[in-house]
């Protein structure tokens, strides 16, 4: 016994009758394997069948597999089908998430622009997924809906909107992004907003990033240090030196790394103190940063680090000593 056989009988040429029969088979496991086989043929003639199964099959695994495999194509029909599945509040969450993952793999801006048409009447899950789908495509038309979504009630939607604007390097949204970085109740949103500011160096951005080194969440503080590193702001040196004393070693490590990128020998003493830090990864990063300073005053502590119990720290110390010597 098969399912939806009239559809498949009319769709597939008789030469492909065996695969068509498996796609319409009564057993879900057979249909799922047939979807994989059809997708691997890379023949768009099978797309209507896969879309049909995505929309109408009774089995969750079959629908999810169809959603996953359709991600290999970027035709208008596939994009619409994925978006409609994401927006279908009656569909199971596994299938909606699989469709969202496929949509996020889009590479074609033209296909991505089609996604924007589906933002209307979408629930919060769908708004977040659709924004994520266009995030890395840098579609100029996505700026306005993303800016509007910065005030969305859903933190997930705000986070994805931030991502869209960050990838667009949208200068008109800098104030709004800075405000979210400072004030949003969601750690994830603040974290995303800090990262999204990594393309501008005006005073508002610099103040926001240095203030974020004192955020309640260590992940936000770490991201603030990393973003300052991308911008290579010499004016952030003092704030980063203070961040070396953070309660979380991840923030300390990132701050030491960024100070190394700034290559200002004025930070030698502050970073050298980390060579006795209890976490070896921090000691390693401190040694590498000292090499970037090219300060002969760091040679004594680096030579002492050659006796460190961790071989990676000893290697970093040797590299740093060679840099200073050069």
- Check if the beta carbon of residue 125 is closer than 8 Å to that of residue 153: no
Rounded Cα gap, residues 134 and 116, in angstroms: 8
Going along the chain from its start, the domains and CATH numbers come out as 263-326 (1.25.10.10)
Distance CA 164, CA 84 (A): 21
For 209-254, give the DSSP string. HHHHTT-SSHHHHHHHHHHHHHHT-GGGHHHHHHHTT-SSHHHHHH
Distance separating alpha carbons of residues 209 and 15, to the nearest angstrom: 63
Tell me what pLDDT residue 1 has: 34
Give bridge partners of residue 53 from the DSSP assignment. Answer: none
Q: Is the pLDDT of residue 288 over 60?
A: yes
Which pair of tokens denotes residue 154? 């859903």
Residues 6+ apart with CB under 8 A from 48: 11, 77
Taking the model in full, what pTM does it have?
0.87
User: Tokens 């768009």 correspond to what residue?
Assistant: 44
Q: Using an 8 Å Cβ cutoff, are 90 and 42 in contact? A: no
Encode pLDDT of 144-195 as tens digits. 999 999 999 999 999 999 999 999 999 999 999 999 999 999 999 999 999 9
The band of 5, judged by pLDDT with boundaries at 50, 70 and 90, is low
SS3 119: coil
Cα-flanking dihedrals φ and ψ of residue 25, to 5°?
-65, 150
Q: Is 121 left (phi over 0), alpha (psi -120 to 50) or beta?
A: left
Rounded distance between C-alpha atoms, residue 195 and residue 113, angstroms: 24
Is pLDDT of 75 > 80?
yes
**Separation CA 210–CA 225 (nearest Å):** 8
């Amino acid at each position: 016994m098969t399912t939806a056989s009239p559809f498949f009988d009319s769709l597939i040429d008789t030469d492909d009758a065996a695969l068509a029969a498996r796609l319409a088979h009564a057993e879900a496991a057979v249909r799922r394997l047939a979807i994989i086989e059809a997708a691997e043929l890379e023949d768009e003639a099978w797309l209507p069948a896969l879309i049909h199964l995505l929309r109408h099959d009774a089995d969750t695994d079959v629908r999810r597999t169809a959603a996953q495999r359709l991600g290999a194509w970027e035709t208008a029909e596939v994009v619409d089908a994925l978006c409609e599945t994401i927006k279908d509040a009656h569909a199971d969450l596994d299938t909606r998430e699989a469709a969202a993952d496929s949509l996020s793999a889009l590479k074609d801006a033209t296909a991505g622009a089609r996604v924007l048409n589906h933002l209307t009447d979408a629930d919060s899950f769908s708004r977040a997924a659709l924004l994520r789908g266009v995030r890395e495509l840098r579609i100029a038309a996505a700026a306005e809906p993303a800016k509007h979504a910065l005030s969305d009630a859903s933190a997930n939607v705000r986070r994805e909107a931030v991502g869209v604007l960050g990838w667009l390097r949208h200068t008109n949204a800098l104030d709004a992004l800075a405000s979210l970085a400072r004030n949003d109740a969601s750690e994830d949103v603040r974290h995303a907003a800090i990262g999204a500011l990594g393309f501008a160096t005006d005073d508002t951005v610099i103040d926001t990033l240095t203030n974020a080194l004192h955020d309640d969440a260590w992940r936000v503080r770490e991201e603030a240090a990393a973003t300052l590193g991308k911008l290579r702001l010499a004016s952030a040196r003092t704030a980063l030196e203070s961040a070396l004393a953070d309660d979380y070693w991840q923030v300390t490590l990132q701050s030491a790394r960024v100070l190394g990128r700034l290559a200002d020998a004025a930070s030698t003493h502050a970073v050298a103190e980390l060579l006795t830090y209890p976490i070896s990864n921090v000691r390693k990063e401190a040694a590498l940063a000292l090499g970037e300073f090219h300060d002969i005053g760091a040679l004594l502590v680096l030579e002492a680090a050659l006796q460190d119990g961790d071989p990676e720290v000893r290697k970093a110390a040797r590299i740093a000593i060679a840099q200073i010597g050069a």
